[in-house]
Amino acid sequence: MNKEFVLNGVNELEDYMIKTRRYLHQHPEVSSKEYETSAFLKREVRKFGLPVYDVENSTGFYAVLDTQRPGKTIGLRTDIDALPVTEKKVNLKGERTCLSHVEGVMHACGHDGHMAVVLASIQFLIKIKDQLNGKVVFIFEEGEEIGSGIHQMVAALKPLNMDAIYGTHLAAFMDTGTISIEEGPQMTGAIMVEFDLVGRGGHGSRPDLSINPVFAMANVLTGLASAWVNQIDVSKTVTLGLTQFQAGTAYNVFPDCAFVGGSLRYFDYDEGKKALEIFKNVTTKIAEAHLCKAVFRESTAIATIPVINDEALSKIARDGARELYGDKVIHGAPWYASESFSLYSKLCPTTFAFVGCKNEDVGSGADHHNEYFDIDEASLSYSLGSTLMFAINLLTKQD
């Protein structure tokens, strides 16, 4: 398909994407409670003339564009949830273009932009439907941030026998206009860890009559740090990200227990499993040495697998993006965050693109999940163009 035709179509949809992204940014909803977000998205999809299919026990849904001609069935996916973060009225430069209207909730990861891009892709692909073969499934996934909607979505999509699924993430660590679509591992798998060290409470004046879980927990944390240095394969990084430590309510009372929570991130599945075993073993034995008991909560388990891009699909996506944007397609590094997108690989080959949204001139570039996070809205066009080229290249060529 003519390059200029696609670029012109992207330009025509830019205002729609910006307007839609701003509306969604102003009306964010946290994971599993995206009721109004889902309703808005469904209204837009039906307005474009596509049927909507609900996903059982989920605010997520999907829509299908059927060309009525034989061909591949491909998916274009967006996440729809926001985060429980209180947004600053300014970004890294100054006042924001738009601000969340919901106290304590913001789109701090770019999902508002992702939704706007997929809605725009529907409009463009409907316009060229007669030039395509096969089907496009537009996937609107609930609760990516906590993994609450992915399993229901995968189950709902399984009967469609899909051939490929494509996803995009706006990336605050890349400059606006740059695009990275690499084969192999792109985002880590996540292991959630939550546990309590149970001791025995008592008066703060007599540590000998209590079992103090605070000292025990301090030794657990230093023991874990040493184990990570000495037992994790240096060529297979697993990060140790402990973010919560809660114990005690008064200066003169030993608590009964102390709590720690966090996550481990990994690219190699076997090393990730090994890391979880090390984590539990070190914690349990050090706790016992301090006469405490380690109690691991049910959530302590592998939550997601790594995002690993299919080699053939990544080449198709990269070549298509390069056709539009030339040397703006760069070789990027993997991202140590995790994504439920990884589980779509149970259905079919997948590929996941990073599109830069960092621009000092507009104040974007703060890290994801940060109260200063913002996107450069110019990045939406690059995301749309890359998405469209992937779909076009798969649906206009016959095997």
Average pLDDT, the chain: 97
Please state the domain count of the chain: 2
pLDDT score at 80:
98
Domain co-membership, 10 together with 123: yes
Q: Using pLDDT thresholds of 50, 70 and 90, give the confidence band for residue 198.
A: very high
Domain co-membership, 31 together with 127: yes
Counting DSSP H helices and E strands in the chain, the numbers are 8, 16
Domain co-membership, 17 together with 34: yes
Mean pLDDT over 6-34 rounds to 98
Tell me the Cα Rg of the chain. Answer: 23
Tell me which residue has tokens 């990084």.
237
Q: Which residue has the higher pLDDT, 178 or 398?
A: 178
145 annotated as a binding-site residue: yes
The SS3 of residue 54 is strand
Domain co-membership, 136 together with 22: yes
Domain co-membership, 283 together with 147: no
Vertex 114: Cα angle to 351 and 103 (nearest 5): 140
The SS3 of residue 385 is helix
Instruction: Give the domain-ending residue among 303, 327, 346.
Output: 303
Contact between 101 and 27 (Cβ < 8 Å)? yes
203 annotated as a binding-site residue: no
Domain co-membership, 127 together with 162: yes
CATH code, 287: 3.30.70.360
Mean pLDDT over 312-321 rounds to 98
Domain co-membership, 136 together with 223: no
360 annotated as a binding-site residue: no
Domain co-membership, 234 together with 320: no
pLDDT score at 1:
73
Instruction: Give the domain-ending residue among 268, 283, 303.
Output: 303
Structure tokens at 293: 């008991």
Q: What is the pLDDT of residues 230-254, one digit of tens each?
A: 999 999 999 999 999 999 999 999 9
pLDDT score at 398:
55
CATH code, 315: 3.40.630.10
Residue 384 CA, distance from chain mean position: 18
Instruction: Give the domain-ending residue among 303, 332, 353.
Output: 303
Q: Using pLDDT thresholds of 50, 70 and 90, give the confidence band for residue 382.
A: very high
Cβ neighbours of residue 208 closer than 8 Å, sequence gap 6 or more: none
Vertex 30: Cα angle to 195 and 10 (nearest 5): 130
The model's pTM is: 0.93
101 annotated as a binding-site residue: no
Domain co-membership, 173 together with 319: yes
User: Which structural domain range is residue 66 located in?
Assistant: 3-183+310-395
144 annotated as a binding-site residue: no
Domain co-membership, 201 together with 291: yes
Domain co-membership, 322 together with 229: no
Domain co-membership, 179 together with 192: no
